[in-house]
Amino acid sequence: MNEFVSDFWSPWIAGVSLLSIVGCAVFLWATSIKRTDAKVDITGHVWDETLAEYNNPLPGWWTWLFYLTVAFSLVYVVLFPGLGSFKGILGWTSSNQYDGEMKDAATTYDPIFNKYLKMDVKAVAADPEGKAMGQRLFLTYCSQCHGSDAGGSRGFPSLADKDWLYGGEPDVIKASIQNGRNGIMPAFGGNPEAVGGEAGAKAVANYVMSLSSMPHDANLASTGKGKFEQACAACHTPAGTGMQALGAPNLTDKTWLYGRSEATIMETITKGRNGVMPAWKDFLGEAKIHLLTAYVYSLSQGN
């Protein structure tokens, strides 16, 4: 790959760029020469029997507009980077512009963010302006997965109810946003001894369905109970109420992350699940996460 970063390519690119600009100017000059003969020059392209294409010079005003673009191009590559490694007289770079814009934004908005950072999360959640700021952050960074109404979707939990995988207290919500989460449900399909293959998975699925009073096969549920206690109770507890320390969901309520049908539950048992929540600490910073925490907390409180 060294040949692509050698000193040879910089003058080559600069030369091609300048040659292209000058070539445009020469081409414009060649096509704008006025002919002195009275003969009408036709290209030979004819449509609809009589509609012909004439080979006349461009109008003067149009030609001069093109000349202006050539002149603009020459000025541009002198002022800004456009000729290989030449950085331009102004020394402009996209990274410097970005850093400057971020610095200006920090000067304007950091005092506002810091004001709310000093407040308790519950107080921010009750503050209309703070909540509105948190909502805008949520719509920008979180709605792609959790929905604009925070209602969630398949595989992405709703944040607007009181059902929490890891807990709904402000410090737990903040930890989820800061550090992310990785909820792993192991696949038991490759381990026949765990649940007994497809038939065993079907039995466990019916037992899980019975825990939330869903229609189920009672005989299969009776068979699946023992398998559940053997393979699943360590995370979901023997009663199926879940364990927030592990992010293991409660199986006795009406909330289903991937779906409540027998086939979907069997799929979860046999193939497992891997839910990833990215960590936002380094990208958003403490102040923005504080506002996001307050907004998410307010959703489950009816604020």
For residues 47 and 126, state if they share a domain.
no
Cα→Cα distances 272→149, 187, 189, 289, Å? 28, 4, 8, 31
pLDDT for position 1: 45
For residues 167 and 284, state if they share a domain.
yes
92 falls within a domain: no
pLDDT for position 2: 53
Nearest 5°: CA angle at 29, between 24 and 33? 150
pLDDT for position 270: 92
Q: How confident is the model at residue 202 (pLDDT cuts 50, 70, 90)?
A: very high
215 falls within a domain: yes
102 falls within a domain: no
For residues 141 and 284, state if they share a domain.
yes
90 falls within a domain: no
| Spatial separation of the C-alpha atoms in residues 127 and 135, rounded to whole Å | 12
For residues 195 and 138, state if they share a domain.
no
Mean pLDDT of 178-207: 88
pLDDT for position 55: 73
- 4 compared with 10, residue with greater pLDDT: 10
94 falls within a domain: no
| Spatial separation of the C-alpha atoms in residues 265 and 259, rounded to whole Å | 7
Looking at this protein, which amino acid is placed at residue 302?
A: G
Q: Percentage of the chain surpassing pLDDT 90? A: 67
Cα→Cα distances 25→64, 69, 82, Å? 10, 9, 18
Burial of 147: CB neighbours in 10 Å, binned 0-12, 13-18, 19+: middle
For residues 158 and 293, state if they share a domain.
yes
Closest to 280 in 3D by CA, of 128, 205, 168, 177: 177
Q: Which two three-digit tokens encode residue 69?
A: 């673009």
For residues 249 and 293, state if they share a domain.
no
Query: Structural domain tally of the chain?
Result: 3
96 falls within a domain: no
| Spatial separation of the C-alpha atoms in residues 247 and 185, rounded to whole Å | 10
Domain-terminating residue out of 32, 59, 79: 79
pLDDT for position 116: 95
pLDDT in tens, 49-65: 888 887 777 778 888 99
Cα→Cα distances 221→49, 168, 214, 216, 225, Å? 83, 31, 11, 7, 6
For residues 291 and 170, state if they share a domain.
yes
For residues 134 and 63, state if they share a domain.
no
Cα→Cα distances 78→20, 24, 83, 273, Å? 15, 18, 8, 56
Q: Which domain holds residue 203?
A: 184-277
For residues 196 and 157, state if they share a domain.
no
pLDDT for position 197: 85
Whether the pTM exceeds 0.75: the reply is no
| Spatial separation of the C-alpha atoms in residues 264 and 118, rounded to whole Å | 45
For residues 188 and 273, state if they share a domain.
yes
Q: How confident is the model at residue 196 (pLDDT cuts 50, 70, 90)?
A: confident
Asked if pLDDT for residue 229 goes beyond 80, the answer is yes
pLDDT in tens, 150-185: 999 999 999 999 899 999 999 999 999 999 999 899
250 falls within a domain: yes
For residues 43 and 14, state if they share a domain.
yes
Burial of 18: CB neighbours in 10 Å, binned 0-12, 13-18, 19+: middle
Q: How confident is the model at residue 38 (pLDDT cuts 50, 70, 90)?
A: low
The CATH code of the domain that includes 224 is: 1.10.760.10
27 falls within a domain: yes
For residues 45 and 167, state if they share a domain.
no
> Cβ–Cβ contacts within 10 Å for residue 141, how many?
16
